[in-house]
Amino acid sequence: MGVALGAPAAIAAAQPPAATNLTQYPLTASVTQDSGLEKHLFSFPLPEGPQVMVGLTGTTSFTTTLNYFGEALISVDSMPGPGCAAVNGTSYASYSDPGFPVLNHLVSFIFKSSRAQKQTQTANISLPYGIPVSSCIVVVLDGGGAWGPKHGYGYPVTMTSALTLTTLPVPPGQDFGVMDVAVGGEFLFGSNDLPNGSGLVTVLRVNPQGRTPVALDALFGSISASGFDGSSGELVPQGPWGARIATFLYPSAACGNDFPVNTPFEGLLHFFRMPVGTQALPAGAQQVYVASLQGNGLWPQQTSYFKPTWPATMQPGDCLVTVHRSGASGVIDLEDQSTAVMRPLP
């Protein structure tokens, strides 16, 4: 099949770095605002030199004050280059605004709500090889009210990070080639594009023309689903509704037959999306992670998770497939902020 999940596999000649000289850094940040979806940056300097993120623990939270739609994306990123202190306390209306720094994604937490409430998500991430980070960590508190015509109206919200980052120095010349790959997306079920009960898959495929297998060390992320309040024109859900997110490893033959992509493609990995309608996924997969969110009316649902998968191995042509589905009497905004941690193998 080409897929080995949870079984012994030839990973790499080098073993994970020894868990010595671990250092923890509090990533504490909070902001209250009453505008739209504003992005607030908080920076945390780390020592110079090669190092990896091997853990992230703690909580993030989003507090809404009105029964209108609002959302928040709380992310932890690494910022290469100088200017760490200069970005602390800055804010932007858009990620494309002049001056917004170049950031490398590490972890994200997504919140959505159409009710006045406090939502909290927990992080408990531990990685065998870690993810390379620079000497500056940036926490982005991005969110606010998003209701009314074109979701253009804000209201008071509070976003908070109470996370702790754990790092490990890496000896010179020791590079495992670890990649953190975003494998999620945002989907509106009950809209014209995605009718309720249909599905959409995201597919991350290892280049079938290559000779490089890939280790899948972990899958982690945050998932949130909510209806809209009606002020922006979307149909408001009534009564119970559900959303389901399920991730699987598929061998190369099934990937080529059921999730076709034009080949050859450049690079080691290729990420794409495709609808799957109401039919079941093809057989031959190994399940990695499943989340079921059960809501009612305008009350949202959300979760965060960490799924260790090391020493799972993906051979050339294998793929990581996540199916997203939702069923409701109205429109459901489902967002999956998941990350796969991967390494090319010799």
Taking only the tens place, the pLDDT of each residue in 191-236 is 887 888 888 999 999 999 989 999 999 999 999 999 999 999 999 9
Structure tokens at 213: 């297998």
pLDDT band with cut points at 50, 70 and 90 for residue 260: confident
**Whole-number pLDDT of residue 196:** 84
Least Cα distance to 221 among 333, 56, 27 occurs for 56
What does the H/E/C string look like for 227-272?
ECCCCCCCCCCCCEEEEEEEEEEECHHHHHHHCCCCCCCCCCEEEE
Structure confidence at residue 118 (pLDDT)? 98
CA–CA gap between residue 324 and residue 292 (Å, rounded) = 10
For residue 1, pLDDT over 50 is answered with no
Residue with token string 């209701």? 147
Domains of the chain, with CATH numbers? 15-176 (2.60.120), 177-346 (2.60.120)
Output the pLDDT for position 192: 81
Residue 82 has pLDDT above 80, yes or no: yes
Look at residue 149 and give its three-state secondary structure: helix
**Which has the minimum average pLDDT: 65-69, 115-119, 257-261, 271-275?**
257-261
Lowest mean pLDDT among 103-117, 165-179, 211-225, 291-305: 165-179
pLDDT class of 98 with cuts at 50, 70, 90: very high
What is the per-residue pLDDT across 3-35, written as a single tens digit (0 to 9) for each?
333 333 333 446 777 667 899 999 999 999 998
Q: Specify whether the CB–CB gap between 50 and 170 falls below 8 A.
A: yes
Mean pLDDT of 25-54: 95
Q: How far apart (Å, rounded) are the C-alpha atoms in residues 319 and 256?
A: 9
Query: Where is average pLDDT lowest: 86-90, 308-312, 337-341?
Result: 308-312
Q: What is the pLDDT of residues 168-190, one digit of tens each?
A: 998 777 888 999 999 999 999 99
DSSP conformation class of 96:
T
